[in-house]
Amino acid sequence: MKRALITGITGQDGSYLADFLLAKGYEVFGMVRRASTENFERIEHIRSRIHLHQADLLDQLSVIELLKESKPQEVYNLAAQSFVPTSWTQPTLTGEFTALGVTKMLEAIKLVDPAIRFYQASSSEMFGKVQETPQNENTPFYPRSPYGVAKVYGHFISINYRESYNLFCVSGILFNHESPRRGKEFVTRKITDGVARIKLGKANEVRLGNLDAQRDWGFAGDYVRAMWLMLQQHQPEDYVIATGQSHSVQEFVELAFKHVGLDWRNYVIVDPSLFRPAEVNHLRGDASKAAQKLGWKPEIAFEELVVKMVEADLERVRHT
């Protein structure tokens, strides 16, 4: 039985990846940080089938001990301060988690078992002020937030440990991916949660920022499959994972409201306080390398994703 360790298992991607690896027959270990109240909502359904260990990416010794205890063959490093706006209000903390945390994990792997295969959660946010469209593995980075800058560090330190110590490190440069398990502060989930609450009479409006921003949105369940595929290859390489199509925030809003028979213009308020100090205006990925080498392609299209998220929020809000 293969053993995998997931950091960030309580997050959106960590929970889908745990589902995926369990279905593949893996023994799954998850790193969780101590909190005064448990935050295991997304993994409640598999709690009895996974092993949770306390450690923190900020604490080197705890990461080393975690690898010694769990003895994984594969490590998926998904833990990060992942919300872009918070990276402006907590820039050094974001750097500690999202950038230096990667080095702590790589150092632990080098020390405990250099044969471990390592996946780093890189991000399309690294392309920021895009230098070409669509973006592929060779597109230069131009991050526009402290989060994006931290992810560039994590990306290059993974490449550096691959080249310096011959570790099996891969980075998945993932474009935005969403699901009913997405955190409610991210724009897609904020919209679908708002639509559900408005439709069911529990809210009158939803306040949003820049409706013109465009993203290449896919489904998180499809994207965790790509993470696993990257670690099964003979050579460690980096891959862009994306749908190849982008849509504006406004298009997402229109579809979500239309699905419940409402006109979005009656409910959406544009709030200038939600605009960012520096915006990433337009992202669109070219995942042809992943299609060719991994045989990966997304299975859920944009419209289906919007409907899936609205329906899940309607169901949840109805029962709360």
Binding site for ligand NAP (CB under 6 A): 7-8, 10-14, 31, 33, 39, 56-58, 78-82, 97, 121, 123, 174, 176-177, 183
**196/208 with CB nearer ligand G4F:** 208
- Minimum Å gap between C-beta 125 and ligand G4F is 4
Contact partner, 204, from ligand G4F, ligand NAP, none, Cβ < 5-8 Å per class? none
Contact partner, 81, from ligand NAP, ligand G4F, none, Cβ < 5-8 Å per class? ligand NAP
* Pick from 213, 211, 210, 216: nearest CA to 133: 216
Contact partner, 190, from ligand NAP, ligand G4F, none, Cβ < 5-8 Å per class? ligand G4F
- Determine contact, residues 222/299, Cβ cutoff 8 Å: yes
Q: Can 267 be counted among the known catalytic residues?
A: no
Written as six digits, the tokens of 48 are 């009895």
Determine the Cα–Cα distance for residues 216 and 196; give it in Å rounded to an integer: 23
Determine the Cα–Cα distance for residues 223 and 92; give it in Å rounded to an integer: 29
Q: Can 125 be counted among the known catalytic residues?
A: yes
- Minimum Å gap between C-beta 73 and ligand G4F is 26
Q: Can 123 be counted among the known catalytic residues?
A: yes
- Contact window for ligand G4F (CB under 6 A) among 32-40, 46-54, 123-131, 219-227: 123-131
- Minimum Å gap between C-beta 103 and ligand NAP is 13
**132/163 with CB nearer ligand G4F:** 132
- Find the binding residues for ligand G4F in span 19-78 (CB under 6 A): none
- Find the binding residues for ligand G4F in span 219-278 (CB under 6 A): 249, 274, 276
- Dump strand ranges (E) for the chain: 3-7, 27-32, 51-54, 74-77, 117-123, 168-174, 177-178, 206-208, 214-215, 218-219, 239-241, 247-248, 268-270
Contact partner, 249, from ligand G4F, ligand NAP, none, Cβ < 5-8 Å per class? ligand G4F
- Determine contact, residues 246/95, Cβ cutoff 8 Å: no
**56/286 with CB nearer ligand NAP:** 56
Number of other CB atoms surrounding residue 292 within 10 Å: 9
Contact partner, 27, from ligand G4F, ligand NAP, none, Cβ < 5-8 Å per class? none
**104/259 with CB nearer ligand NAP:** 104
Burial class for 295, CB neighbours closer than 10 Å (0-12, 13-18, 19+) = exposed
CA dihedral 66, 67, 73, 74 (to 10 degrees): 60
- Per CB under 6 A, the list member of 9, 55, 196, 208 interacting with ligand G4F is 208
* Pick from 271, 305, 253, 280: nearest CA to 84: 280
Q: Which of the residues are catalytic?
A: 123, 125, 147
